[in-house]
Amino acid sequence: MTDVDTPFFAANGYVNLGQVLAGEALQEAIQLFDEDRSASGWNWSLYSNHQTINCDTLVTSPAVDGLIRHPLILPAIESLMGGPVCFSEICARHMAAFEGEPFQGWHRDRPRWDDHAFRMDYIQLMLYLSDVGPATHCFSISPERLDEPQLEKDVQLKEGGIVDLHGPAGTAVLFNISVLHTATVRVTEKERKTVQVYYGHRDRPALSNDSSIPATLWRDHADAETRAFYGNLNDKTRKYLAAFE
């Protein structure tokens, strides 16, 4: 299990777990990413902030389950969330080299949930599959204490500042999706590869309709815990199920 700095998370809304993938495990993850882009490019689409994304990676590359429930990551997520979690969304994201004007799109994905110790309804894993530094695109966040009132965007950026999360391929960052964050697009000759996974509480609403959940995981899997982890179905999954049964 990866130890998680809970006090730091409470004071900042995020925590950097460091390089959790290395060696053969890292190379396998990168290969999975690259093969998905190559074999399932038809399911990758343009997105804001100079990104192309595939949010149905569980369908096109089922082995990504090994990253979603990685034993060095999932326990830290459960610790911060306060118990068992469920899958909410996954998006593999690619950012190509860029020669234009650098930009950011600061946003909060969802509101805080005040009934949680960290006011956290959903948590996101940001997993770098390429080296990220000052000369590449990166993930940026404006740290905020989770026990203080949330500020408007401009005030938060001024008072909380900005942290650019850099690290080698295999680096994992966890953050409360209610905290202000952005993809930072830089002039660079390097590409950035990430796998970004959202997790929620099992008794809370589904986060989004971006990712379909295969029935092989939530209905047909032999393991009860796997079925429970993937069992918080969104409307997209339900509609696809009804259409193909």
Residues of the chain with confidence (pLDDT) below 50: 1
Task: Look at residue 196 and tell me if it is in a domain.
Answer: yes
| Residue 74 domain boundaries | 6-201
- Report the distance separating Cα 138 and Cα 119, nearest Å: 25
CATH of residue 18: 2.60.120.620
What is the edge-to-edge ordering of all strands in the sheet holding 192-201?
14-19, 171-176, 122-128, 192-201, 85-95, 51-54, 45-47
pTM more than 0.85: yes
Say if CB 90 and CB 195 are below 8 A apart.
yes
Predicted pLDDT at 39: 98
Tokens found for residue 131: 């080296």
Count of domains for the chain: 1
Task: Look at residue 227 and tell me if it is in a domain.
Answer: no
Predicted pLDDT at 245: 79
Q: What contacts 99, CB < 8 A, 6 or more positions away?
A: 187
